[in-house]
């Protein structure tokens, strides 16, 4: 029962965040890039930095933030990580680093996860990123561009991302 109550609050917050999203800077050039990654699915972050280098971005302009689903609250020394235990039952994020990441006005944010994950969906909806990219099979309301590639095929995803960002005139 507790999980279904939490899920209901998360869905309400997602809907509220989507209604309040600012779409005025949707067509800006991509100077900064962020990745919101499900660490259970993928954890080779060097490949993500390689994609950004092929886009012509410097490592300092790329931010990677990870989510991990845990059974118990575990201490972590990583600053750019959050787990499901750091969300209140009302969907309030209780991690300062996460709130700072979501407040960044990134030009492009990639939701690197697949399937239903209400915690990551909430983070994507709360993000102040101007343009959001996701994978097929997730809540399409959250993203401006959905790429139909298996997330484990990083090279193919990178090629598709670069191709579509060039078509949309976000990168040269």
Rounded alpha-carbon distances, angstroms, from residue 6 to 88, 90, 124, 149: 8, 6, 17, 30
> What are the structural domains of the chain?
2-167 (3.40.50)
pLDDT higher than threshold 70 for residue 1: no
Rounded CA-CA distance 85/73 in Å is: 6
Average pLDDT of the residues of the chain: 90
Provide the token pair at 154. 């990083």
Instruction: Report, as an integer, the average pLDDT of 14-25.
Output: 88
Contacts of 17-22 spanning 24+ positions with Cβ under 8 A: 17/122, 17/125, 17/126, 18/125, 18/141, 18/142, 21/125, 22/128
- CA 46/CA 99 separation, integer angstroms: 24
- What pLDDT does residue 153 have? 94
Question: Could you read off the pLDDT of 134-166 as tens digits, one per residue?
Answer: 999 888 899 999 999 999 999 999 999 999 999
The answer to whether residues 30 and 107 touch, using CB atoms and an 8 Å cutoff, is yes
């Amino acid at each position: 029962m507790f999980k279904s109550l939490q899920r209901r609050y998360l869905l309400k917050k997602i809907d509220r965040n989507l209604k309040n999203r600012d779409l005025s800077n949707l067509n800006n050039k991509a100077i900064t890039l962020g990745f919101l990654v499900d660490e259970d699915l993928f954890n080779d972050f060097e490949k993500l930095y390689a994609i950004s280098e092929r886009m012509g971005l410097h490592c300092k302009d790329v931010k990677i933030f990870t989510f991990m689903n845990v059974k118990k609250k575990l201490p972590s020394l990583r600053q750019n990580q959050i787990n499901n235990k750091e969300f209140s039952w009302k969907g309030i994020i209780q991690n300062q680093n996460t709130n700072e990441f979501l407040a960044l006005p990134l030009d492009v944010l990639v939701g690197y996860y697949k399937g239903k994950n209400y915690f990551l969906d909430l983070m994507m909806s709360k993000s102040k990123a101007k343009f959001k990219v996701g994978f097929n099979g997730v809540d399409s309301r959250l993203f401006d561009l959905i790429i139909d590639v298996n997330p484990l095929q990083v090279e193919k995803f990178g090629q598709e991302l670069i191709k579509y960002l060039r078509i949309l005139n976000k990168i040269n």
